[in-house]
């Protein structure tokens, strides 16, 4: 399908505002750019209330925001959410509207986690924080109003990377019950550039220069990018993982790795619901003020998660 006309208009506007010669963005520029982009998010979630807190992380206290949809009982399903931003940008503030929309759509009490970012905190800080946050939510489920037996992990873009990794790690951890993983435009492979990464390397919202800069900021030198804690697509032990809800976009550089992960999970006997959204670009789900498809995908995710958690 051709690129969606509204998405094409957005890309044209962004290209006109960008400098002629693309150079590696500074960390601060990367963070500001994502914050501006996330202003296009729209959440129809008037019934969701929030409260902020901190949870213990391996490097110190981690802020979190708890979203509670109206009508949720004392033991609602839980959703641990990790924001996108290449592991160098983003926060619970930038993704506030998306988190609220997901809580509303899924009926889950959602915990959005402010994990540590690179380059100030390189790999494996974000992974360690994501694991610690998930374990804490499971331990403190009762006080959060969450049913520890109905826990979902999810995220968008690099946040989906963390969700996939935590699910793989949790499969080896006794007592941690995750019923579903929700991966939105996931980044899953830094070992090899897929055809979609090459085809959409320029002019499709996130480009090769930004992806390479994020990776350089995130990884210490001389690390193996095939490590599943960096590239979860490279994992070989996938049997027994939670049900996977995967949403990819046709014109996303990361499309192929999301598609490949869906196929690998299916081959390992994992239940998978995978949708590739025609005409869409990376991060489209967060641009509801521009793209009507964003609202549709959040509603669709809500239905899928509700089925997975049994509500």
Catalytic machinery residues: 157, 252, 282
Long-range residue pairs from 19-22, CB within 8 A, at least 24 positions apart, any chain: 22/202, 22/207, 22/209
- Separation between Cα atoms, residue 150 and residue 153, nearest integer Å: 10
- Separation between Cα atoms, residue 93 and residue 21, nearest integer Å: 31
Crossing angle of helices 208-218 and 27-37, rounded to 10°: 120
Q: What is the 3 state secondary structure string of 200-222?
A: CCCCCCCCHHHHHHHHHHHCCCC
R_g over Cα of the chain: 18
Asked if 55 and 136 touch (Cβ cutoff 8 Å), the reply is yes
The phi and psi torsions of 215 (rounded to 5 degrees) equal -65, -40
- Separation between Cα atoms, residue 38 and residue 139, nearest integer Å: 32
The Cα angle at residue 31 between residues 280 and 100, in degrees rounded to 5: 60
**H or E segment to which residue 3 belongs:** none
Residue pointed to by tokens 């670009």: 281
- Separation between Cα atoms, residue 280 and residue 119, nearest integer Å: 30
- Separation between Cα atoms, residue 29 and residue 175, nearest integer Å: 42
Asked if 287 and 40 touch (Cβ cutoff 8 Å), the reply is yes
């Amino acid at each position: 399908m051709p690129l969606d006309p509204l998405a094409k208009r957005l890309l044209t506007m962004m290209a006109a505002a960008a400098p002629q010669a693309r150079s590696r963005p500074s960390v601060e520029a990367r963070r500001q750019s994502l914050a501006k982009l996330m202003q296009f998010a729209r959440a129809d979630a008037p019934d969701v209330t929030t409260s902020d807190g901190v949870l213990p992380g391996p490097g110190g206290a981690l802020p979190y925001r708890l979203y509670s949809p109206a009508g949720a009982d004392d033991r609602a399903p839980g959703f641990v959410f990790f924001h996108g931003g290449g592991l160098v940008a983003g926060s619970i503030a930038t993704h506030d509207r998306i988190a609220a929309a997901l809580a509303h759509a899924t009926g889950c009490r959602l915990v959005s986690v402010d994990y540590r970012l690179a380059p100030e905190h390189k790999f494996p800080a974000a992974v360690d924080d994501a694991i610690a946050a998930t374990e804490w939510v499971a331990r403190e489920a009762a006080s959060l109003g969450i049913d520890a037996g109905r826990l979902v992990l999810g995220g968008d873009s690099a946040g989906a990377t963390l969700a996939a990794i935590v699910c793989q790690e949790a499969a080896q951890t006794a007592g941690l019950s995750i019923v579903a993983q929700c991966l939105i435009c996931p980044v899953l492979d830094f070992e090899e550039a897929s055809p979609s990464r090459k085809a959409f390397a320029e002019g499709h919202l996130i480009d090769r220069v930004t992806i390479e800069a994020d990776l350089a900021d995130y990884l210490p030198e001389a690390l193996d990018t095939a490590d599943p804690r960096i590239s979860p697509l490279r994992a070989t032990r996938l049997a027994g993982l939670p049900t996977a809800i995967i949403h990819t976009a046709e014109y996303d550089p990361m499309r192929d790795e999301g598609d490949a992960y869906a196929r690998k999970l299916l081959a390992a006997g994992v239940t998978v619901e995978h949708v590739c959204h025609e005409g869409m670009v990376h991060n489209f789900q967060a641009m509801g003020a521009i793209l009507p498809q964003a609202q549709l995908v959040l509603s669709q995710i809500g239905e899928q998660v509700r089925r997975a958690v049994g509500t």
